[in-house]
Structure 1
Amino acid sequence: MDVADERPAIERRALARGAFYETQARTMIEKVPATAGITERWAVSPYRGCAHACRGCGARRPHRGLGLDAGRDFDTRIVVKANAAPRLRAELTRWQGEPVAIGVGGDCYQEAELTYHLMPPLIAALAEAGVPFTVYTKSPLVLRDAALLRSAGARVAVSIAFVDEQIRRAVEPGAPTAQRRLELVAALAEAGVECRVLMAPVLPLL
């Protein structure tokens, strides 16, 4: 008698490497949820889940479709789209040039990027296709690719909702401090990268 495999769906189809699940994405350009609050209608997310562990992150819900929970699993069990660059290049051959966002499903410069280096080839693919794009991140690691981003004419949007460190630790426990993000904005501007600041999320009564 066969025993049912009760592992989460993602564990049945991905290669587990520590806290990372390596997958082969079937598609890279995805529709942005209406609740995301950004101007782009389409997004590219090389990672799903995010070690920044921001409590109000709108990208949490899709983790449930992987058989994981939208709480602790979203913060600690990161899905890596290992074939992100070639898959994106294939899709861009028939793309009409509409702007895209990068990093909606999880910060594209979170700690996983130190291991997988998915962003440089994604930036190159979008630049070669002439597609305008905005990178959404809280991480100073984006500075590693400042020259590539500047050359591609990309924009970087850094969210800084508050500067109170006590609130930051409670709401965004894994994210860089507000001070580091303010310094990141200055560094990006100095490097010639167009940078925007997002005052989000708005937390009433705080």
Structure 2
Amino acid sequence: MRVPLVGVGWDALALVDEAADERPLIERRAVVRDGFYELQARTMIERVPPTAGIAQQWALSPYRGCAHACRGCGARAGHGRLGLDAGRDFDTRIVVKPNAVDRLRAELVRWDGQELAVGLSGDCYQAAEETYRLMPGVIGALSQAAVPFTVYTKSALVLRDAALLAEAGARVAVSIAFVDERIRRAVEPGAPSSQARLEL
């Protein structure tokens, strides 16, 4: 005989004692695929810290962490909230938000139209974007909602979406901190060369 579970949601069923599990939160909640940590986003639009030094007050990022491994990246602290460290984990354990486009569309319904920064928690055109291709959907959602936005990147992969970005009226900011390649390699070891960014 079957007994119905009335009023009991899956969240109420403690299938795993998370308190006894010492793995970082991200490893308990994410699906690991091809070295990337897929984690469903609860929200996409986040407040930009005043110390970020950019014009926008709100941002979104389809990725958290960044393979560019820039030593001075201000987004590193975000990995700590996932139980990871802000050092090597930030460079190598890239969190992907596979539901980024759907979640963003839902949030934009209530958005007041303020300009957004895209790619602050991790370069939105880093190597993960070659695999997941989230940016065309993000650009489409922002364009459809007529929300102004600026993409922050160091990667020439942004050229793949140049037509979409132009159609959306987006701005693209490419950061170049050093033109001396020896310094660049020491401070931004995974980022494209200074010359590649100047050409971009």
Q: How many residue pairs end up in the alignment?
A: 184
In the other structure, the counterpart of 1:7 is 23
TM superposition shift of 1:19: 2.1
**TM-score calculated relative to the size of structure 2:** 0.90
Matches within 5 A, 1:17-96: 17-96=33-112
From 114, 120, 145, the counterpart of 2:136: 120
Runs of 4 or more consecutive aligned structure 1 residues displaced over 6 Å after TM superposition: none
Structure (1 or 2) with the greater strand fraction = 1
1-structure distance, mates of 2:180, 2:82: 35
Q: Which residue does the alignment assign to 1:189?
A: none
CA distance in 2, matches of 1:2, 1:33: 31
2:197 maps to what in 1? 181
| Aligned residue number for residue 177 of structure 2 | 161
User: What code does the residue aligned with 1:88 have?
Assistant: L
Supply the distance in 2 between the matched residues of 1:2 and 1:123 (Cα, whole angstroms).
37
Q: Distance in 1 between matches of 2:18 and 2:50?
A: 43
> CA 1:5/1:98 → structure 2, altered by over 3 Å: closer, same or farther?
same
Tell me the residue number matched to 1:191. none
**Of the candidates 115, 125, 142, which is equivalent to residue 99 of structure 1?**
115
Letter in 2 for 1:12: R
Distance 1:62 1:144 in 2: 28
Alpha-carbon distance, 1:3 to partner: 8.4
- Alignment partner of 1:27: what SS? coil
What TM-score, normalized by structure 1, do the two folds share? 0.87
2:35 and 2:23 map into 1 onto residues whose CA distance is: 15
2:9 matched residue in structure 1: none
Task: Structure 1: give runs of 5+ residues left out of the alignment.
Answer: 185-206
Structure having the higher Rg = 2
| One-letter amino acid of the structure 1 residue matched with residue 99 of structure 2 | N
